[in-house]
Amino acid sequence: MEERWIKHYSSFHRILLVGEGDFSFSLCLAEAFGSASNIVASSLDSYDELIMKYKEANSNLDCLKNKGAFVLHGVDATKMKHRSDLGKQKFDRIIFNLPHAGFHGQEKLPHVIRQFHHPFLATSRLHRELLRGFFRNACGMLQKNGEIHVSHKTTSPYSEWKIEDLAAENSLMLIECSDFKIEDYPGYKHKRGDGSRCDEPFSLGKCMTFKFTFQEIPVLTEQHSTSFDRQLPLCRFTHMNDVPLYTGLTSQAHITNECNRIFGRYLNHVEETFGSTSYDVRGSLNDAMRLGFEQYIREGHGRPLSGYIDILEELKHRSILRSQWLIRMLSVLDMQQ
């Protein structure tokens, strides 16, 4: 059978889609593949709710089923791993497009943004809890080297959801951010999904697909490499969508990609030497900072130093998240003693 691709997705991938609206995205993939036998498509709405909300849902579902898709309704993304018809399956790609916990007014309005009266939860605790629960469930349903894809608006207030932090809580690491363009998916129609205008589209604006994969917990042994030398090891981060940015960094997604690209080798080396009592942390860190700066400057004449500072801030942020995760893991191990 010939492999077929549409954007990030292959007909050879086993794909789970959650939070579908009128199932037009699932059908778009099926049309591109020529079959839907590799697709499990699900919605939170029941079948009866779907038919009432979306005028094209019934025809889309019929087409999907005729192409061999397995379709499920009433699937809560925060509890899906406990379903007998879904929880034991493993997938190469798990997709959640434009996650949203429901409309509570225009989210740009201050009283909606601050509905929980806490500055850190500026956009909405409901949305963050939806994604937190989704990541907690999805990470246990991945095949080895599988990926979780979340397409998400990146402008305020959506940027305040901090989905990378929520993913990191479940040992998921970001491997790529790429532009999400509706024209890349012929036939896909994004819907509001709630209220009297549920079947209407909404302004998509700046939107990215965030790709996460499971970060393995390093094994503590004494047999680790202790040399960092003058060259860093090869980097696993080989799927960056962005080319080097010569005109400065313009978004958090670009900063994340640049941090992965420049310091991915160092981060890999840290994992490979984790737990070694003879590891020269200071020496390897100094080498990484020096080589990273040289690479940043070398790649483009006149690149602003502020861009490199942004990358260092991202690296610091990741280090803090990693430390918090390690503390939690050690606490769990301590309680098990």
How does residue 234 score in pLDDT terms, banded at 50, 70 and 90? very low
Tokens 């079948």, residue?
A: 47
Distance CA 6, CA 304 (A): 36
Q: Give the sign of the dihedral formed by CA 41, CA 186, CA 134, CA 113.
A: negative
Of 149, 97, 99, residue with least CA distance to 124: 99
The half-sphere exposure of 172 on its side-chain side, counting CA atoms within 13 A, is 30
- 80-133: pLDDT as tens digits: 999 999 978 999 999 999 988 765 445 444 444 444 444 334 446 888 899 999
Torsion of CA 48, 54, 56, 57, to 10 degrees: -40
Instruction: Quote the percentage of the chain above a pLDDT of 70.
Output: 72
Predicted confidence at residue 17, as pLDDT, reads 97
What letter represents residue 57's amino acid? Answer: A
Cα separation values, 57 from 18, 103, 191, 248, Å: 15, 21, 11, 44
Q: What DSSP line would sit under 149-189, residue for residue?
A: EEEEE-STTGGGG-HHHHHHTTTEEEEEEEE--GGGSTT--
Distance CA 314, CA 337 (A): 35
- 58-81: pLDDT as tens digits: 999 999 999 999 999 999 999 999
Predicted confidence at residue 243, as pLDDT, reads 37
